[in-house]
Chain A
Amino acid sequence: MHPAYSVIFFTVASGAGYGLLFWLSLAALVGAMPGGRWLMVAGMLLALALVTFGLLSSARHLGHPERALGAFSQWRSSWLSREAVAAAATYVPAGLLLLLAAFGGASAVASFAALLTALGAAATVYCTARIYASLRTIRHWNRKDVVWIYLALALASGGLLFCLLLALGGHALGIAGPLSLAALLAAAWLKARYWAAVDADPGAYTVEMALGMPDLGTPRPLDPPHTMPNFVMREMGYSVGRKHAVKLRRGVLLALFAVPAVLLALSLITGLSAPLLVLGVLSAAGGLLVERWLFFAEAEHVSQLYYGLQRA
């Protein structure tokens, strides 16, 4: 699949934003958020900025972004529509939580808003993942663990941001440190398992099935239905990523998982949190962008059986 930069940036930024929103809401819910009101306000603003820039970026890849309101209508059948509804709905309790954090207010209302924000953040990331996981045409995406990976990566990247926020505010990481580390390691384990599984899966559909004449044997493309690559080949047949997949996967394991995990562990031990976590967040951001690029670039689409692919 063609890796569109707008969608890569959207899923990475909104994943981290909703992850941070989840951590902040949880901290507010259990009353564990240190640093008075301003740390909470700064965190909420950062999370909502990441989410909003992500959503705006995703709207940029639409042919008609001015018609985007229509995307709220088909939540009965479409995961993309459900994602739009969940994303918009989450702004309501998140905005309320931000206002209550900034100006103070009834703690019961704040707790309820925090609970709804945490649920909304999780639901939005879940819907994003299901858009991909529900496509039976792409075996690299049509998997249950794709949903878990999206959720774990949102939790891990949001957790790193939450730890950085605490460190920059001059606070101890507390339980957030080990929990973020656990999320990071869980995501790494899921992703390594995912890569092993997709490599071992040859694909359920063959070129013989695509043409429907198995008696005739294996077809060989003779004349293509185009003079230069067409939309279906450019959108669904991207293959540059597969050439460098092994090296890039190693880069992801290093930048997204190993480096941030070591830096997070070091900051827990040494107490030198802020500079270490700045490096950790930057490394994880780079790693996440490559991970998401690979998620698209490595994905094979069944339609390519008509264009020379043997199995998909």
Chain B
Amino acid sequence: MTTLPPATDKKLGLVIDLDICVGCQACATSCKEWNTGGYSAPLSDHDPYGADPSGAWLNRIHSYEFGEGAAAKTVHFPRSCLHCETPDCVTVCPTGASYKRVEDGIVLVNPDTCIGCKLCSWACPYGAREYDHDDGVMKKCTLCVDRIYNETLAEEDRIPACVRACPTGARAFGDLGDPDSDVSRSVAARDGFNLLDEFGYRPVNKYLPPRKTSVPLDLSETPPPETATGTTAIEKLFAWVDRTLSS
């Protein structure tokens, strides 16, 4: 059924800390590795080692620059399905293959009933859905639905592959519908925000902004590079050589 549930029991999602993400792509490759063998399998690639590689990825990492000169800032920006509360990607689906789960709010595509019309990808302002040309169906982040409830895995592995792989702890997973959960607390403490909030799909995933730099960088006061000076005989010798060669 592609009508949206009026409410979901949980709002499982990700919180991504843009302050500490280093853009290493570990989450993207880990996602690809898990999901090409999991619920979304396969995630086909075309010409992966050739001149025009392409393929379905459920998580992509952009890097953006802001500002100029000393105030410039680089922000690494992971982007995947935000598991919105009121997304049109679900309601436009003609077959009911695209749906939002009542129990945890995860937005999924049923690969057995998807006809590959691509309309859901047109309805997503975040560009989060990618069509698999080999499989003929739409692919998207499943929040690793086949890991988080998987009792055959060790307990610490029952989180999305991207969260498990992140070496800096920039990704967290939890119930954003529970105000007392760790993820909800971090969103409250750090002014977590929605992407393209104005669009009105009410994303569940939240982003934490880069922290304000506490000490502003002033390049005009940068000291000149050190010249070779010293107190020991050998350092004085080198200083003399330096002065002589510089003159």
Contacts and interface: CB of A to CB of B under 8 A. Distances in A.
Interface of A: 1, 61-65, 67-68, 70-71, 73-74, 76-81, 84, 131, 134-138, 204-205, 209-213, 215-232, 234-236, 301-307
Contacts of B135: 63
Contact of A67 (B62, B88, B95, B125): B95
Nearest to B92: A78
B197 interface: yes
Given A67-B115, A212-B193, A223-B23, A217 B66 contact: yes
B131 A235 contact: yes
6 contacts: A67-B115, A71-B115, A77-B3, A211-B195, A223-B23, A228-B54
B31 to A, nearest CB: 12
Given A205-B198, A223-B23, A231 B125 contact: no
B13 to A, nearest CB: 15
B53 A79 contact: no
A235 B121 contact: yes
B2 interface: yes
Nearest to B192: A212
Interface string B89-115: 011111111000000000000000111
Contact of B97 (A70, A217, A235): A70
Nearest to B194: A212
A135 B92 CA distance: 9
A306 B77 CA distance: 10
B85 interface: no
A305 B124 CA distance: 12
A134 B92 contact: yes
B79 interface: yes
A9 B140 CA distance: 29
Contacts of A61: 117
B56 A137 contact: no
Contacts of A213: 18, 66, 75, 193, 209-210
A62 B117 contact: yes
- Report which residue of B61, B92, B122, B195 has the largest number of chain A beta carbons within 10 angstroms of its beta carbon: B122
A204 B63 CA distance: 24
B195 A210 contact: yes
Contact of B54 (A71, A74, A205, A229): A229
B113 A70 contact: yes
B127 A236 contact: yes
